[in-house]
Amino acid sequence: MQKLTLDSHFEKYESFEELTAQDRLLVDEAKKAADDAYAPYSRFHVGAAVMLENGVIVRGSNQENAAYPSGLCAERVALFAAGAQHPGIKIIAIAITAYPEGKKLPVVPISPCGDCRQVMAEYELRYAHKIRLIMEGGKGTYIVSDCVAQLLPFLFSGDVLK
């Protein structure tokens, strides 16, 4: 038996101003997206903004449904919209934020669910390009990763289906 240890590296920022100009732009777009969320059940508004290689930004927000599993997370709404509307254009970054109605955003930054991580990771593989991930938390706390794969070790790859 051999033990394996995986290292993941992230950057932590303590204020919005500390972020790069591009990250700030994307976080602002994610906030706008969160305003458009349809979240009557969870009351947890999530916004995502995807930046493409050509500078185009595609926003997504969580879209819930009375049949709960029919809804979709903000990240995948944005990613699939980008893939559908701008096929073949690399995705270079995504920002994620949220606000729970009537409550403050948790200080720990909002991170994507497992399904969204899988989808993001496949876009990294598909375009052979890392996707920068900016996750916003309350009190101006941000966690940034230079690629999505760090959040999903041993991801399921389509290579096994070939």
Handedness of CA 116, 118, 124, 126 (dihedral sign): negative
Compute the distance between CA of residue 54 and CA of residue 133 in angstroms, rounded to an integer.
17
Tell me: does residue 135 bind Zn ion (CB under 5 A). Answer: no
Instruction: State which of residues 73, 79, 82, 93 lies at the interface with Zn ion (CB under 5 A).
Output: 73
Q: Is 75 a known active-site residue?
A: yes
Q: In this structure, which amino acid lies at residue 140?
A: G
Tell me: does residue 116 bind Zn ion (CB under 5 A). Answer: yes
The region of 44-52, 100-108, 110-118, 150-158 touching Zn ion under the rule CB under 5 A is 110-118
Instruction: Map tokens 């991801």 to a residue.
Output: 155
Tokens standing for 160?
């096994």
Q: Cβ of residue 71: shortest distance to Zn ion, in angstroms? A: 10
| For Zn ion, the closer CB: 40 or 114 | 114
Handedness of CA 45, 100, 139, 149 (dihedral sign): negative
Active site residues: 75
Question: Binding residues for Zn ion, per CB under 5 A?
Answer: 73, 113, 116
